[in-house]
DNA sequence: CATGAATGAGTATTCATTCAT
DNA sequence: CATGAATGAATACTCATTCAT
């Protein structure tokens, strides 16, 4: 009934969403006030409501956008993967690239998704997480069947180890330091494929 | 006159801290109100202030206790480790045990430490985290020097991959399910030592 | 420079005033927002200010128009009344007709006039109400003097009983139901003239 | 779950409810702010929430109490009425007494009930209003059957004329003036029984 | 030790209004 | 005439904290 402007993506909206994502990634959802966001955007907090229906609507839009983009990429990778090893590598590389491209959204997702998933209006988080999980586990299982990955180990658990290690880098990786997203990606691939041990 | 009651560690205090840890781990620090905690403890929120100076004091005590216990164990492990491989294994096993023993504290640490570390009164978080990091990286570096670990890879980055993968399990591991803390520990050790790839 | 547009009574103005009257009659003055009104009119709330100086100006215009039309009719009735009984009947019938013709204005008047009368800018409400009261009480008193109405009873109180019973019907009368404005008028006249009791 | 204190009627609660009823009766529900109420009670607006869950909860409690008391009295009257004439008289006298005893609640009911009845949480208004209507119409119909009231006229409409005329007096009756509640009651009974006309 | 009443600063949100385009 | 972005003040409500009892 009441027309949400969710679809008419003006630049101003995107700008504000970017600010919100950054602040929420830094401080957490409930520790970030709409005043904080508005102030950073150079307007009064009430004026935010010209663009968004609520604080909740903002984070929903951020998370929904993030997950949709991610799933699109993952789907493409899964569709084009020639073999499971290449598939897993591409998924990992894609995750690291995503950290480089939109660290705020990743950080926010990493910090808040678990809690928000239990809240009404965020059911999409569970649904899309499961689709992502299916893609990853599919590659891992295919690799085990093909004999390119070790047969022992629950793929669901392995997936979570990999996922958490990769996404968590967003908390400590700072561009411009000793490492790039690519170098971390490389190092992670080496570790995950061959392990720590020397032969 | 005003005597800090921090030392008279009555059972009631511990009970309340446990409740607080659990709630904060579930909902986050700022989303958990002192009323929530008091209600769960069966008292009124004002009465909490008979036991603790402030909400901040509660989380400080929780985190300080957690990190002190952890560091004590890590120090012991480092002191007794016969070789780097055994040392790393013991550290990883210790972390998984800690997840089993005090999941609330781990969860809370995992969710809130990064933000709280930037706040006044939480400087100890940075200090103790650095000591922990030193212990881990020491073992990794020793393993590389001894030739038991592959020489390539920045040990600081490897440490963070391992740390994040391990601690993050607290977010999805539920006792009583398909896996135990021990089985996850075992699977993780296999992955980290030998990697995914079949020989 | 700033010319009040009160005089250029475009159809659009009247249309918007009608919408405003209806909404305010339903929800009350302060519970009706200018956004509600604008939305119903198919424009944005800011655009209302092209037609009216303020929300207050809108309700002033509605009420002023309503009372002016009513007074005009009452004046005519009082001027033409051949005897007090006919006069009272005509006043009552006129009120019921008004309810049929402009129920929103009546409802809004019924709900809001008492409060608004105490607010600056609404002094006309008191003044016109008094003129109306004078007309009614004049007829009642004339009837008592002429012996056609019972001599006991304070005409001022009788007037208010009648006025409130009549105007209040706007709250529950719905056209298209069992009763018409005329049938209610008839029943009310019977009650007010002869009372409940059988002879 | 969350214990509403609705039942533990401290004096403070009653005092605040009285203030709220008075202000809301004067200005209307949405024009009365919780700040207004708190200020009049000599506390800060936030402190109101120690006593009541919300502004809505306050008006619900006021209206519920009012209607319950009224229905109790009406039920008693209907149970003890020896004949319909006496029954109607007692109902009317009871209403005028109620105006004298709790004018704020009556005024608030008169002004806000129609709108609030459409809102969630106020379903009891409709239910109790219908029970009241049943009692009144029962007496009117019994009087018609017994031949003590004129047979013409829809009792449902007659009831509403009487109800509105009586309750509306709360808007203009001021104690200490020319009339008392009793004298108004007397005058109203004379009008409603015998009508305006001299024999 | 606990209650219950209160504070005071803050939170998200609403709303009448303004104004450049 | 209308839009869309913004203001600024107000609104209901929350929450950590205090304190007399």
Is there contact between B114 and strand E, defined as CB under 7 Å from any strand atom? no
The residue among D55, D53, D50 whose CA lies nearest residue D37 is D55
Contacts of A62 (CB under 8 A, 6+ apart): A17, A20, A21, A24, A105, A108
Q: How confident is the model at residue B199 (pLDDT cuts 50, 70, 90)?
A: confident
CATH architecture of B54-194: Orthogonal Bundle (1.10)
- β-bridge mates for residue C197, sequence order: D149
Å: C54 CA to E18 C1': 12
Of C143, C168, C193, the CB nearest to D168: C168
Asked if C160 lies within 8 A of D168 by C-beta distance, the reply is yes
The minimal CB distance from C197 to the residues D29, D148, D169 is found for: D148
**Nucleotide in closest CA–C1' contact with D47:** E6
Residues in chain D: 199
Nucleic strand E under 7 Å from the C-beta of B47: yes
Beta carbon of A56 within 7 Å of strand E? yes
C3 CA – F2 C1', rounded, Å? 19
Residue A31 at interface with chain B, using a CB cutoff of 8 Å: yes
With beta carbons under 8 A apart, name residues in chain B contacting A29: 28, 31
> What's the pLDDT tens digit per position in C112-121?
999 999 999 9
Nucleotide showing the shortest C1' distance to residue C38 CA: F2
Cα separation of B108 and B24, whole Å?
A: 6
Report the residue of chain D nearest C161, measured CA to CA: D165
Which residue, A68, A64, A67, is CA-closest to A56? A64
D186 touches chain C (CB under 8 A): no
CB atoms within 10 A of CB A100: 17
B157 → chain A, closest CA residue: A184
Q: Give the Å distances, CA to CA, from A196 to A27, A193, B191.
A: 34, 9, 9
pLDDT tens column, A124-157 = 999 999 999 999 999 999 999 999 999 999 999 9
Which nucleotide has its C1' atom closest to residue D42's CA?
E6
Is the C-beta atom of D51 closer than 7 angstroms to strand E?
yes
Q: What SS3 string covers chain C?
A: CCCCHHHCCCHHHHHHHHHHHHHHHHHCCCCCCHHHHHHHHCCCHHHHHHCCCCHHHHHHHHHHHHHHHHHHHHHHHHHHCCCHHHHHHHHHHHHHHHHHHCHHHHHHHHHHHHHHCCCCCCHHHHHHHHHHHHHHHHHHHHHHHHCCECCCCCHHHHHHHHHHHHHHHHHCCCCCCCCCHHHHHHHHHHHHHHCCECC
In the prediction, which pLDDT does C103 show?
A: 97
Span between the terminal Cα atoms of chain D, in Å: 65
Q: Enumerate residues near strand F (beta carbon within 7 A).
A: A 10, 12, 43-47, 50-51; B 32-35, 45-46, 48-49, 53-56; C 10, 12, 43-44, 46-47, 50-51; D 32-35, 45-46, 49, 53-56
Q: Is C141 an interface residue toward D (CB < 8 Å)?
A: no
C22-65 tens-digit pLDDT: 999 999 999 999 999 999 999 999 999 999 999 999 999 999 99
Whole-angstrom distance, CA of residue D164 vs CA of residue C168: 6
Q: Which chains touch C (3 or more CB pairs under 8 A)?
A: D
What is the spatial distance, in angstroms and rounded to an integer, between the CA atom of A4 and the C1' atom of F17? 40
Q: Do B187 and A158 touch (CB under 8 A)?
A: yes
pLDDT band at A10 (very low <50, low <70, confident <90, very high): confident
Return all residues near A69 (Cβ < 8 A) that are at least 6 apart: none
Cα gap D184→D174, rounded to integer Å:
11
Give per-residue pLDDT as tens, A14-49.
999 999 999 999 999 999 999 999 999 999 999 999
Contact A179 B157 (CB under 8 A): yes
Q: Sign (positive/negative) of CA torsion A115, B70, B99, A141?
A: positive
CB A197 to CB B153 under 8 A? no
Asked whether residue D141's C-beta has any atom of DNA/RNA strand E within 7 A, the reply is no
Residue C10 — very low, low, confident or very high, per pLDDT cuts 50/70/90? confident
Distance from the Cα of A123 to chain B's closest Cα (Å) equals 17
> Long-range contacts of range D152-158, CB-CB < 8 Å, 24 or more positions apart?
D152/C187, D152/C190, D153/C187, D153/C190, D153/C191, D154/C178, D154/C179, D154/C187, D157/C179, D157/C184, D157/C187, D158/C187, D158/C191, D158/C196
Query: Which nucleotide lies closest to D32 by the C1' atom and the CA atom?
Result: F11
**Whole-number Å distance, CA C30 to C1' E17?**
16
Cα C147 from chain centroid (whole Å): 30
Label residue C9 by pLDDT band (50, 70, 90): low
- Condensed to tens digits (0 to 9), the pLDDT of residues B135-192 reads 999 999 999 999 999 999 999 999 999 999 999 999 999 999 999 999 999 999 999 9
Query: Which chain A residues are Cβ-neighbours of B154 within 8 angstroms?
Result: 178-179, 187
- CA B38 to C1' E12, in angstroms, rounded, equals 25
Nucleotide in closest CA–C1' contact with A50: F5
- Least CB-CB distance to D191: which of C26, C30, C158? C158
Minimum-distance residue to E15 (CA–C1'): C33
pLDDT of B38 strictly over 70: yes
CATH number of this structure's domain A60-194: 1.10.357.10
Asked if residue C5 has pLDDT above 90, the reply is no
pLDDT confidence of residue B12: 87
- Contacts for D35 with CB less than 8 Å, ≥ 6 apart: D45
Residue ranges per structural domain of chain B: 54-194
| Segment D67-88, tens digit of pLDDT | 999 999 999 999 999 999 999 9
Sign of the C-alpha dihedral computed for residues A178, A180, A184 and A190 taken in this order: negative
Distance, in Å, from the CA atom of B160 to the CA atom of A168, rounded to the nearest integer, reads: 9
- Residue D59's alpha-carbon distances to A156, D10, D68, in angstroms, are 54, 17, 14
Chain A hits for B26, CB-CB cut-off 8 Å, are 115
Categorize the per-residue pLDDT at B9 as very low, low, confident or very high, splitting at 50, 70 and 90. low
- Show residues of chain D in contact with C31, CB under 8 Å: 29-30, 115
In angstroms, how far is E6 C1' from D13 CA?
Answer: 14
Helix axes B123-145, B103-116, angle to 10 degrees: 110
- pLDDT bin (cut points 50, 70, 90) of residue B3 is very low
Number of cross-chain residue pairs from A and B with Cβ atoms under 8 Å apart: 130
Which C residues in the span 50-109 are in contact with D, Cβ-Cβ below 8 Å? Answer: 85, 88
Q: Which residues of A touch B151 (CB under 8 A)?
A: 198
**Structure confidence by residue, pLDDT tens digits, A85-100:** 999 999 999 999 999 9
In this complex, is the C-beta atom of C174 within 8 Å of any C-beta atom belonging to chain D?
A: no
User: DSSP letters along D102-171, please?
Assistant: -HHHHHHHHHHHHHHTTSTT-HHHHHHHHHHHHHHHHHHHHHHHHTSB-S-S-HHHHHHHHHHHHHHGGG
Three-state SS string over D57-115 comes to HHHHHHHHHHHHHHHHHHHHHHHHCCCHHHHHHHHHHHHHHHHHHCHHHHHHHHHHHHH
> Residue C191 and residue D147: Cβ atoms within 8 Å?
no
pLDDT tens-digit map of D159-192 = 999 999 999 999 999 999 999 999 999 999 999 9
Burial of B24 by CB count in 10 Å (0-12 exposed, 13-18 middle, 19+ buried)?
buried
Confidence of residue B10 (pLDDT cuts 50, 70, 90): confident
| Cα–chain center distance at A87 | 18
What residue of D is the nearest CA neighbor of C179? D157
Spanning CA of A33 to C1' of F14, the rounded length in angstroms is 14
Which residues, in sequence order, are bridge partners of residue A197? Answer: B149
How close D3 comes to chain C (CA, Å)?
30
Q: How many residues can be counted in chain B?
A: 199
**pLDDT per position in chain D (199 positions), as tens?**
333 333 445 788 999 999 999 999 999 999 999 999 999 999 999 999 999 999 999 999 999 999 999 999 999 999 999 999 999 999 999 999 999 999 999 999 999 999 999 999 999 999 999 999 999 999 999 999 999 999 999 999 999 999 999 999 999 999 999 999 999 999 999 999 999 998 7
| The pair of three-digit structure tokens given for residue D61, joined into one six-digit string | 């409690």
Write out chain B residues lying below 8 Å of A26, CB-based.
115
| pLDDT score, position D4 | 39
**CA(A46)–C1'(F5) in Å?**
12
pLDDT at B11: 83
Q: Do C193 and D197 touch (CB under 8 A)?
A: yes
Per-residue pLDDT of A150-196, as tens digits, reads 999 999 999 999 999 999 999 999 999 999 999 999 999 999 999 99
**CATH code of domain D59-194:** 1.10.357.10
Structure tokens at D150: 């004129």
> Which residue of chain B comes nearest to A166, CA vs CA?
B161
B9–chain A Cβ distance below 8 A for any pair: no
Residues in chain A within 8 Å Cβ distance of B162:
165
Average pLDDT along chain A: 93
Q: Is A30 on the interface with B (CB under 8 A)?
A: yes
Q: Chain A partners of B198 at a C-beta cutoff of 8 Å?
A: 147-151
For the cut 90, the answer to whether the pLDDT of residue B130 exceeds it is yes
Picking from C99, C88, C116, the residue whose alpha carbon sits closest to that of residue C191 is C88
Q: What is the mean pLDDT of chain C?
A: 93
- The nearest CA of chain B is from the CA of A19 a distance in Å of 18
Contact between chain A and chain B (3 or more Cβ pairs less than 8 Å apart): yes
């Amino acid at each position: 009934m009441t027309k949400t402007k969710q679809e008419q993506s003006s630049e101003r909206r995107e700008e504000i969403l970017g600010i919100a994502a950054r602040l929420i990634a830094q401080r957490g959802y409930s520790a970030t006030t709409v005043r904080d966001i508005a102030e950073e955007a150079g307007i009064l907090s009430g004026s935010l409501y010209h663009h968004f229906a609520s604080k909740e609507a903002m984070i929903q839009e951020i998370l929904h956008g993030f997950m949709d983009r991610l799933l699109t990429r993952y789907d493409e990778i899964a569709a084009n993967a020639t073999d499971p090893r290449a598939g897993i590598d591409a998924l990992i590389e894609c995750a690291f690239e995503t950290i480089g491209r939109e660290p705020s959204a990743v950080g926010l997702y990493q910090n808040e998704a678990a809690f928000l998933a239990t809240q009404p209006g965020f059911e999409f988080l569970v649904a899309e997480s499961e689709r992502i999980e299916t893609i990853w586990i599919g590659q891992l299982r295919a690799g085990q069947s093909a004999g390119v990955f070790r047969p022992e180990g629950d793929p669901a658990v392995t997936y979570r180890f990999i996922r958490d290690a990769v996404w968590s880098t967003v908390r400590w990786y700072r561009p411009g330091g000793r490492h790039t997203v690519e170098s971390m990606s490389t190092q992670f691939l080496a570790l995950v494929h061959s392990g720590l041990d020397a032969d």
